[in-house]
């Protein structure tokens, strides 16, 4: 049995789906007043899925900023 190579999954895919679910359920809850548990689950899923993305891009931004600062200081010293 041959397995086809699957295309890579975009890192924001699950985050965007959770964001859409939270927005849709939020509107339903706001308009009709039903679905509070589903809305809380969607918001929790959004937080769980977004946390790795935020951490990875946050660490990358901090490292790049520190490198830029250190490069600027080394150029001034020389």
Q: 22 and 39 in contact (C-beta within 8 Å)? A: yes
Is the model more confident about 10 or about 41? 41
48: closest CA among 16, 15, 24, 26?
15
Question: Is pLDDT above 80 for 1?
Answer: no
Q: Is 20 helix (H, G, I), strand (E, B) or coil?
A: helix
Per-residue model confidence (pLDDT) at position 73: 66
Model confidence at 59, pLDDT cuts 50, 70, 90, reads: very high
What is the rounded CA–CA span in Å between residue 61 and residue 59?
A: 5
């Amino acid at each position: 049995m041959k397995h086809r190579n699957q295309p890579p999954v975009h890192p924001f895919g699950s985050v965007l789906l959770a964001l859409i679910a939270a927005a849709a359920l939020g509107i339903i809850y706001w308009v009709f007043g039903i679905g509070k548990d589903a809305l809380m689950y969607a918001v929790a899923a959004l937080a769980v899925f977004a946390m790795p993305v935020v951490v990875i891009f946050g660490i990358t931004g901090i490292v790049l900023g520190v490198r830029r600062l250190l490069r600027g200081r080394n150029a001034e010293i020389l």
